[in-house]
Amino acid sequence: ETATAPPRGILIAIEGLDRAGKSTQCALLVERLQQSGHKVRLQKFPDRTTTIGTLINSYLTSATDIDDHTIHLLFSANRWELAHSIRTDIAAGVTVVLDRYMYSGVVFSAAKGLDYEYCRGPEVGLPRPDVIVFMDLDEGEAAKRGGFGEERYEVPEVQRRVREMFRMMRGDERDAGDWGVVDAGAEVGVVAERVWGVVERGVEFARGNELRSIQ
Ligand code: TMP
Ligand code: MG
């Protein structure tokens, strides 16, 4: 008698601007996936708990200044140091929800003026999400939600450029078909339904396909 391997987990990335409600939706999504029988792990990027994450945190809180290229590579290194555990979980049947991923990595650095292809290069080979939920919120709505924190990048001009870069990146044919755009400008429960609609596509995709790598 041979034991049947469990179906693999699903890799789901949640992306969007600051104040789009990513963390709230990630929490609701984890709950809903669990209720429908999935084993789930939430992985936040940047993961500030590692040694590299500590450096990233001190940069974001402006405790230290780090050269643009260097911090870019540290954000990427932070994903690479966790890539193995993501692959291991997916193979073992655990669904992994990513609160931000390499798409934030590319757009935030490219929005500063670094070359897009340079920014994307270090991400090639990382586990590729089965689906990316992009939580979209226009600048006006974002401004109404008020209260930027005090971290680096939490300024309107940076957010505006980041939103443009995200729009450009959603047209990148190397990730074609992965994106589902959700209007994040509604009430929490309504947005959660929309997120679930996109996630179901990822669940469907993962049923018939191996986990891919970023190309
Ligand atoms: P957080 O507020 O979600 O913790 O993210 C911290 C900031 O870091 C946010 O402004 C987005 C930015 N960021 C990058 O610049 N590069 C990256 O690779 C990631 C994951 C986030
Ligand atoms: Mg933040």
Number of the ligand 1 atom closest to the C-alpha atom of 46: 20
User: To test ligand 1's pocket by mutation, which of 43, 60, 163, 169 has the most ligand atoms within 8 angstroms of CB?
Assistant: 60
Pocket of ligand 1, beta carbon within 6 A:
18, 45-46, 60, 75, 100, 104-105, 108, 153
In this prediction, residue 49 carries a pLDDT of 98
Q: Rounded CA gap, 23 and 100, in Å?
A: 9
3-state secondary structure of 196: helix
In this prediction, residue 1 carries a pLDDT of 60
| Residue bearing the CA closest to ligand 1, atom 15 | 108
Condensed to tens digits (0 to 9), the pLDDT of residues 90-148 reads: 999 999 999 999 999 999 999 999 999 999 999 999 999 999 999 999 877 877 787 67
User: What structural domains does the chain harbor?
Assistant: 11-208 (3.40.50.300)
In the predicted model, is pLDDT for residue 2 greater than 70?
A: no
For 43, phi and psi rounded to 5 degrees?
-125, 115
In terms of Cα–Cα distance, which of 124, 119, 162, 126 is closest to 18? 162
Condensed to tens digits (0 to 9), the pLDDT of residues 171-187 reads: 999 999 999 999 999 99
Is there a contact between 13 and 170 (Cβ–Cβ < 8 Å)? no
ipTM of this complex prediction, to 2 decimal places: 0.99
In this prediction, residue 4 carries a pLDDT of 79
Condensed to tens digits (0 to 9), the pLDDT of residues 40-97 reads: 999 999 999 999 999 999 999 999 999 999 999 999 999 999 999 999 999 999 999 9
